[in-house]
Amino acid sequence: MQNSDFSSASSRLTVDLAALADNWRMMNERSGRARAAAVLKGNAYGLGVMQAAPALYAAGARDFFVASVEEGAELRPLVPEGRVYVLAGMWPGNEALFFENDLVPIINSQEQLAYFMAALSERGDHPCVLHVDTGMNRLGLSPEEALRLVHDPVRPASFSPVLVMSHLACADDPGHPMNRHQLQRFREVTAFFEGVPASLANSGGVFLGEDYHFDLTRPGIAVYGGEAVDGDVNPMEPVVIAEARIVQIRTVPSGESASYGASVRFGRDSRIATVAIGYADGYHRSVSGGGVTLRQAMPSGAFGFLHGRKVPHVGRVTMDLSLFDVTDLPESTVRAGDYIELFGRNIPIDDVARAGGTIGYELLTSLGRRYHRTYVGGA
């Protein structure tokens, strides 16, 4: 929503397209001999595909993954020489969108395989990707089904996958034995698809090393500045900064409470900033401080950043408003109308996500329509 000037908006996002492009270049370099795709599903992880796609295309990306055929059709004119892969695959009724927009369906099941083959009998040649499940048990043909396909005597001659792919379940945990297990199973399958490019690594998989890279990597969250590996320093540049305006500053006497459910009680006279941000904007209720039922296991809530200092969130996040304790900042420095950083340059988005018991992906894709957005660093 762009209903106010950026300098006066109640909540605002700054999206750094140069940082987005730099992150993709870093992941492309880390992919070694493989080339890196760019994942643009979920409206470019909530940041805006109309802006993100041209920036990544200009940076050199030529392989793009989206979730649905509708996303693919929207993306196609933005990446005219790119190859667009659709993770959900083809189903009866949407084949025209694939053919008209030159989209590549990913075959995830026997049903999709049968339908795609039937569509080929009418259309002729069209590229596809074969998705093989190597242990995540979410989507994909079993290895046995994929190998039977290799030797199927009635397979149409025009059926020739341009890629064989699988998806890592535990790449964010480099020491997890599932990584090696999936790698071995994937190697066993790809050995039967000689000459067909292969893709296994997501963002975390890129950091697992050369064994996981194959021909095409598929970095997602890392390109958008998020953590790809648990417990490691995040080398990616922050791409988005979220800020919200302080609506009011009030003094709450020691012993009094605030917010719904009287969920925070103050042990000292406190200055509290009421900020124009809430769960309607994707700032989740679960990032609230202690005393919220959903957060008993993680009593420490999120922090904001204001005038060079981290300030704690207190009480419950509500639909439109949140409270931050600014008592430790000099009183003269904090005024109604100031902006507080929710996450971005000084507060990593993954720190806020952890405070809410979730992941950076969810915060990014939850960003609400009320933020006024500005894009910097574009071509």
State both tokens at 150.
Answer: 């290799």
Whether the CB-CB separation of 349 and 226 falls below 8 Å is answered with: yes
CA-nearest of 117, 47, 27, 38 to 364 is 47
- What is the DSSP secondary structure assignment for residue 234, as one 8-state letter? P
d(CA 358, CA 351): 10
Q: In DSSP terms, which residues pair with 63 in a beta bridge?
A: 83
d(CA 31, CA 96): 34
Dig out the tokens for 271 from the structure: 């200055």
> What tokens does 109 get?
């099941």
Kindly state the DSSP code that residue 141 receives in the 8-state scheme: B
Q: Are strands 240-252 and 270-275 parallel, antiparallel or unpaired?
A: antiparallel
3-state SS assignment for residue 16 = strand
Show which residues are catalytic: 41, 260
Say how far apart CA 89 and CA 103 lie, in whole Å. Answer: 10
* β-strands 303-306, 309-314 pairing: antiparallel
